[in-house]
Structure 1
Amino acid sequence: MTPLVHAEQAVLGAIFLKPGQLDQLSPWLRPEHFSRPAHTAIYAAMLKLKADGHPATATTAGAPVPLAWLTDTLREASMRTRGLTASHLHTLVSACPRPDHAPVYGRMVLEGAIHRSVAKHAARLHQAALDDGRAGTVEETLHHAQVLADVLADLARGWGAEARSVEPPVAYAPRAERPQPVGEQVLADEEFLLGCLASRPEQLLGLVRWLRPGDFSDPGHQQIYRALGALHHRGEPIDQLTVLWEVQRRGSLADGTLDAERVRRVCDPLVGLAAEHFGEQVVQASLVRTAALAAQQVGALASRDALAPGQLIGYALHALGPLDEVRHRLRLAHEAEPEPQRPASRPGAPPPAARIDAARARSRLAATSAPSTAVTTSCAALPDRHNHRSPS
């Protein structure tokens, strides 16, 4: 028998011995906080009798408790569940170490209820994320994520704690969980999105506020999106070769994350569709994956009996932080108005002089604060690269 079951027996036994303690317990201890149906029925019966003005609940300290309190509770509880006997109630009485400690025993019961409630709603969120992942939707995930957040806030109020995010210590830090399986449609949407951006880079302006590299499920797609963003941010041309070169500079070819053929295929210039739709699909899939991971982490925290309710609630809210961030960006994606598109550069048009200077500056060696005479003389002997013209 677990300590929690002992605590449930003790608080019920204490109420049988001193019914007046219901005045201290009834404002915050509810029948659903008990883990066993029989205990739930007995406590609900006690509250019903108290509400009906049973004489035993008005018994003063030291006065004998009438036998009717036991028999009436048994009769009322038997209407809510089956199998209760008088001997069962006597077992509860004998399980109470100290009747005066009923509020402490009740607090133990409430702690167990908080852990169970968090675990239950985390499991529901995880299942909703799995279902939405297969269906390509996000509605159930968003609903259960909000329910879990509301439950945590309600539990914090019931416990008397502040509902705020608290980063857990290393001992309670969430462990890396196995990622949710990614469907072929998600990978196809990511490739289409990258192809759209490679063909029409000006569309990045409308996506960078709410689309992040981490939203892509495939590591290779993350690196291509980073390369596209870097090239666009620097104002450099974007095509299959420039993206491939940027990916290579970032080490993604060397570590095997990508290969040249795959980069060229993803950045197919024939793809010219609007990117907003595929961007929203990618963020939606990211939200579902993030929700599944957060639900696993919250469930793992709820299984730790050593965590006090205030700690559990704070750590659980911290685990939901990344999900809130993705949910916020998804709202931005739905609310965003199309950005005005820049006119595309004419094929074959020379790049602006400022772009040429910027590209060359990144390749120049930084000048030292006090160059030596030998270096100065050597540099002076070289032709001015800006005035040099290659033969036609």
Structure 2
Amino acid sequence: MPQPSAPDKDFDLDAVPPAPPVHHAEQALLGALLLDPHRLKTIGPLTPTHFASPTHAAVFAAMTDLTPPAPAVHTKEPAWITAVHARARKQAPGLLPTYLHTLVNSCPVPEHAPAYARMVRADHARRTLRAQAEHLVQAATDPTLPDPADTALARADALAAYLDELASRFPPHPGSLPRTPLPPPPERDGGDEAAYEERVLLACAVAHPKALTAMRWLHADDFTVGLYGRLFRCVAQLAHRGDPVDPVTVLWEAQHHGLLAPALPPRELLNLLATPAGAPEHWGERVLLRSLLHQTRTAGLQITAYADDPANSVHQLVTGSRRALADLSASRARWHHATHPAPAIRTPAAARAGPRPPRTSPTTTARTTR
């Protein structure tokens, strides 16, 4: 006897997610405007793009394109609903006349239309903020960008400007800090290329320790390999103290920091520090760039988490997002310091002596040829 087939999950009505609260706010607003079109003047700035539902956007666009009928005509015949339906069907061909009556029945209190409009604007702000956060994450992870730092920082600036706009349009209120659990920071694994560049940087720093006095913009936390970051701190501390710097002195300093282990025996560390290639500034900028993009991605993911939480008000979104961008500001300042160094101030005596001859040290030569 054939067994009855299981119901198709594609047609399981119970699997349809419930409509979000903004859907009901949009319905209530449109219903109020269908009942009294002259309330369009009371709802504040609103455009079709503020609506999450394309159908609702088409209905509202039709309302703004049409001239409302006189109140005496509106109370006697359904001219307004008929005209709105005819105009909206140009953008939403599947719109049925019965749905406009559903909108009317969905409005509990037509006088609350301005409140419904504020809800629509608030949810649009949340969706827009999420989209900008996604663009920020994309800029930090797209390997095809010709200038990833400038692109990522430009998108961070655009997001900050949007937060300023939201702060001016939505007043603050008590309880402004979001309570959304933040996702863990993304992994810092930069792959074999990042590890290789960090090893070369260590060797170059040992070979040219004087360069480290001008590389205070690079921190140990910028390294993708934690061990290499701690070794860099050892080299930098020796250089800043004015102590001799060579592979053996760094080995001794690393021993005092507890960095020697079976995974890094003394001979392997000495070999690692004995193969410099290029200038430490070049490799330091590469390390800092990865750290900057990591901070950018982290900020974007945090803002996305805030925007995905419907419990956050717009003011909470602004506060949390600004904090996420503030964490990026420190890396941004160090990146600017590394790539736009302040010009040297020359004394009058040096100026009278004429221009200085070009430097021919290995550091300068390597930086010029890279």
TM tier, shorter chain? 0.7 to 0.9
- Work out the CA distance in 1 between the residues paired with 2:227 and 2:336: 26
**AA partner of residue 296 (structure 2):** A
Q: Please say if residues 196 and 271 of structure 1, whose CA atoms lie closer than 8 Å, have aligned partners that are also in contact.
A: yes
- Cross-structure match for 2:230: 223
Could you tell me which of 199, 210, 215 is aligned with 1:191? 199
Using the size of structure 1 for normalisation, the TM-score is 0.76
Using the size of structure 2 for normalisation, the TM-score is 0.80
Over 3 Å counting, the alpha-carbon distance change for 1:328 and 1:10 in structure 2 is same
Q: Please say if residues 197 and 283 of structure 2, whose CA atoms lie closer than 8 Å, have aligned partners that are also in contact.
A: yes
Could you tell me which of 78, 98, 103 is aligned with 1:87? 98
Over 3 Å counting, the alpha-carbon distance change for 1:18 and 1:263 in structure 2 is farther
- Cross-structure match for 2:36: 18
**Partner deviation per Cα, 1:31-83 (whole Å, 9 max, x = no partner):** 1111110111111221222xxxx143x649xx837522212212222222321
Over 3 Å counting, the alpha-carbon distance change for 1:6 and 1:257 in structure 2 is farther
Is 1:119 equivalent to 2:130 in the alignment? yes
Over 3 Å counting, the alpha-carbon distance change for 1:259 and 1:289 in structure 2 is farther
- Cross-structure match for 1:266: 272
- Cross-structure match for 2:14: none
**Partner deviation per Cα, 1:117-145 (whole Å, 9 max, x = no partner):** 12112122212222138988434323332
**AA partner of residue 39 (structure 2):** Q
**Partner deviation per Cα, 1:278-313 (whole Å, 9 max, x = no partner):** 121111111111111111111111111111110111
- Work out the CA distance in 2 between the residues paired with 1:8 and 1:140: 36
Alpha-carbon shift at residue 11 of structure 1 (Å): 0.7
**Partner deviation per Cα, 1:81-112 (whole Å, 9 max, x = no partner):** 32112111111111111111111111222222
Is 1:33 equivalent to 2:50 in the alignment? yes
Is 1:300 equivalent to 2:305 in the alignment? yes
**Partner deviation per Cα, 1:211-238 (whole Å, 9 max, x = no partner):** 2222111101110111112112222111
**Partner deviation per Cα, 1:322-380 (whole Å, 9 max, x = no partner):** 22221222122121158799x99xxxxxxxxxxxxxxxxxxxxxxxxxxxxxxxxxxxx
- Cross-structure match for 1:9: 27
- Work out the CA distance in 1 between the residues paired with 2:202 and 2:119: 54
SS at match of 2:142: helix
Which has the larger displacement, 100-109 or 195-204? 100-109
- Work out the CA distance in 2 between the residues paired with 1:287 and 1:240: 29
Over 3 Å counting, the alpha-carbon distance change for 1:7 and 1:197 in structure 2 is same
CA RMSD of aligned residues (A): 3.0
- Work out the CA distance in 2 between the residues paired with 1:206 and 1:150: 33
**AA partner of residue 320 (structure 1):** L
Q: Please say if residues 132 and 288 of structure 1, whose CA atoms lie closer than 8 Å, have aligned partners that are also in contact.
A: no
- Work out the CA distance in 2 between the residues paired with 1:183 and 1:133: 17
- Work out the CA distance in 2 between the residues paired with 1:338 and 1:263: 36
Could you tell me which of 296, 306, 316 is aligned with 2:321? 316
- Cross-structure match for 1:138: 149
- Work out the CA distance in 1 between the residues paired with 2:168 and 2:147: 36
SS at match of 2:196: helix
- Work out the CA distance in 1 between the residues paired with 2:145 and 2:266: 31
- Work out the CA distance in 2 between the residues paired with 1:326 and 1:31: 39
Over 3 Å counting, the alpha-carbon distance change for 1:142 and 1:314 in structure 2 is same
Over 3 Å counting, the alpha-carbon distance change for 1:134 and 1:44 in structure 2 is closer
Which has the larger displacement, 221-230 or 323-332? 323-332
- Work out the CA distance in 2 between the residues paired with 1:35 and 1:258: 56
Alpha-carbon shift at residue 115 of structure 1 (Å): 1.7
Over 3 Å counting, the alpha-carbon distance change for 1:16 and 1:320 in structure 2 is same
- Work out the CA distance in 2 between the residues paired with 1:161 and 1:80: 37
**AA partner of residue 151 (structure 2):** E
* Percentage identity across paired residues of the two chains: 34
SS at match of 2:305: helix
SS at match of 2:312: coil
Over 3 Å counting, the alpha-carbon distance change for 1:260 and 1:113 in structure 2 is farther
- Cross-structure match for 1:333: 338
Q: Which runs of 5+ in 2 are unaligned?
A: 1-18, 346-358, 363-370
Aligned length: 329
- Work out the CA distance in 2 between the residues paired with 1:134 and 1:17: 52
- Work out the CA distance in 1 between the residues paired with 2:59 and 2:132: 26
